[in-house]
Structure 1
């Protein structure tokens, strides 16, 4: 569930309000392309600022998952509550950077503090130049979704290292209502509002868990940036050589997962897609060697000495593998590989 939530309309948290010259068009003229990018900019703001509630359906490799969502911007913070309607009972409540995940069947509460990665949001690393270099942005006209008038915007990749996106943006509020993830023009996954409304306000009570959490086990996860905590893990720095075209390092941090073990996470982005690399002591988790896939998510694992490298993201397999095979320790002779 978590991957689907963070992946949903990943682009909208990244589009900046200002942009320079429009990117190369693939069938539309410059004015149409500029208008399409402007729509994405408006959608970026609507994702954070709009008050809405609704039901979202996710279609992944033949399975349909549905969840209820309520969202508002209150006291300078985003608030959001997600409740699963199918499958295992789950609930996620977010207030600003604090995310509380509730798994009632396991009597477990997971609490984490990290920058917003909500249902419709994403990381804040965006470059208009990256977008224009790697994708063509097209205004594909009008349609309807969830009973509302929408504009169609397509983000078409220029090479094999990234997927394409097709999305429907509400004409009145600019909230994204539907996303299709595409490879070679074929749909891999689809997420969409089946019902949505825009109330003027939402009461505090809608952001409180519906479960009695008495007796639940509480686990807290905190992400620690390398620069803030000098340690052996912090000194064990890694870098990526020969990244896929357009991808750049956006974040690099360390999280303590056990009293004696830490995991480094490196986040790469091309301005739309994001890929995470996890570098951990071998044996901390089940080993992964080579490629694996679940729906549109590809992962690639490599074991180097006593270190497990795992790269995962909603990108083609060739992208995950190239990043994994080009991660090296900074104190290593780069010409000799890992």
Structure 2
């Protein structure tokens, strides 16, 4: 009995030894490399608020390009695939949407958790754990203020893949959770595992080129420390509606986007909504003798989003 107990204590202590021998930054770098370079297949639970979904992921590197397939296993069938630089979304109604994604960022699993953590966070190794029957190293990414959420991470000791992650509020409550329940590190995947089925119609979602009736620029009067303006573009929501201006902001980990839509004398409902860690705030403003709807959507605390919203302004330049 004593020998069995001693063996059990040794096995329990092993992940801690691994964690102690590698600094947190090195662990995150290995996590990023593993996510992009390994072939793997597994099923995971995705929890947002009180809703839980089951999903399957397949990932392979074929001829130097990443192939990835997300499949929703609950409810109506929805799939999202990465085929090199292209994203493809398969909808339940049998249609397909192609998205050109040159930056390869949209489908990086837990893309917010890159290997470079901003100065507004502390990253700490926090002991050992187990996920999907596998030994893991537990980590924490803790914000230094109340303007962003924190994360708890569980990295597989063998592959360094991220097997579980939680986005948590200042009180430690998990707002969003991703957790593998099965993992296969030798799935034997090939191109056939990423083939597209026959669809009844397809469309491409691309940046909107050309000139527009107005050029709209969002100006933020206040941003939390570390947040900077990132990408800005025009996006077409539907063929019947005018393009929507979008300005994104990020601190390198947390992100939010401000959308600007010309109301054209339309009536809209202002307000605030939340789903898990995601907050959305809408309000109308007047600029250049026209009315616009501002909508902020992001994974930041609601008080922070409301303060940012109060300081937003529009610079509208008429087309020459």
State the TM-score bracket (shorter-chain normalisation). 0.7 to 0.9
Q: 1:191 to 1:309 in 2, by over 3 A?
A: same
Cα RMSD (Å): 2.7
Corresponding residue SS for 1:279: strand
- Aligned counterpart in structure 1 of residue 202 of structure 2, from 218, 227, 248: 218
- Aligned counterpart in structure 2 of residue 135 of structure 1, from 92, 116, 121: 121
Say if 1:255 and 1:263, in contact at 8 Å, map to a contact too: yes
- Aligned counterpart in structure 1 of residue 141 of structure 2, from 151, 155, 159: 155
Counting matched residue pairs gives: 291
1:226-250 deviation line (CA, Å, top 9, x unaligned): xxx5523673222222112221111
User: Could you tell me how far apart the structure 2 residues matched to 1:308 and 1:170 are?
Assistant: 45
Corresponding residue SS for 2:224: coil
CA radius of gyration, larger in: 2
Give the match for residue 313 of structure 1.
298
1:102-153 deviation line (CA, Å, top 9, x unaligned): 123x2221221123211505379x795x712x11111001111112111111
User: Could you tell me how far apart the structure 2 residues matched to 1:150 and 1:325 are?
Assistant: 43
For structure 1, list consecutive stretches of 5 or more residues without a partner in the other structure: 1-30, 333-338
1:262-310 deviation line (CA, Å, top 9, x unaligned): 1111111112111111111226998341311112211111111321111
User: Could you tell me how far apart the structure 2 residues matched to 1:286 and 1:247 are?
Assistant: 32
Matched, 1:270 2:251: yes
Say if 1:81 and 1:94, in contact at 8 Å, map to a contact too: yes
| C-alpha deviation, 1:57, in angstroms | 0.5
Give the match for residue 131 of structure 2.
145
Give the match for residue 255 of structure 1.
235
User: Could you tell me how far apart the structure 2 residues matched to 1:55 and 1:285 are?
Assistant: 44
Give the match for residue 100 of structure 2.
113
Corresponding residue SS for 2:23: helix
User: Could you tell me how far apart the structure 1 residues matched to 2:178 and 2:190 are?
Assistant: 27
Matched, 1:287 2:268: yes
**Within-5 A mapping of 1:1-338:** 35-104=23-92, 106-114=93-101, 115-116=103-104, 117-118=106-107, 120-122=109-111, 128=116, 131-132=118-119, 134-183=120-169, 184-199=171-186, 201-209=188-196, 211-213=197-199, 216-224=200-208, 229=209, 231-232=211-212, 235-257=215-237, 258=239, 261-282=242-263, 287-305=268-286, 306-330=291-315
Q: 1:140 to 1:194 in 2, by over 3 A?
A: same
User: Could you tell me how far apart the structure 2 residues matched to 1:32 and 1:301 are?
Assistant: 46
* TM-score (normalised: structure 2): 0.82
Q: 1:243 to 1:34 in 2, by over 3 A?
A: farther
Q: 1:55 to 1:277 in 2, by over 3 A?
A: same
User: Could you tell me how far apart the structure 2 residues matched to 1:241 and 1:230 are?
Assistant: 29
User: Could you tell me how far apart the structure 1 residues matched to 2:312 and 2:38 are?
Assistant: 40
User: Could you tell me how far apart the structure 2 residues matched to 1:168 and 1:330 are?
Assistant: 44
* TM-score (normalised: structure 1): 0.78
| C-alpha deviation, 1:60, in angstroms | 2.1
User: Could you tell me how far apart the structure 1 residues matched to 2:144 and 2:269 are?
Assistant: 30
User: Could you tell me how far apart the structure 1 residues matched to 2:168 and 2:285 are?
Assistant: 33
Q: 1:123 to 1:155 in 2, by over 3 A?
A: closer
Which has the larger displacement, 51-60 or 282-291? Answer: 282-291
Q: 1:288 to 1:148 in 2, by over 3 A?
A: farther
Say if 1:33 and 1:138, in contact at 8 Å, map to a contact too: no
Which has the larger displacement, 235-244 or 156-165? Answer: 235-244
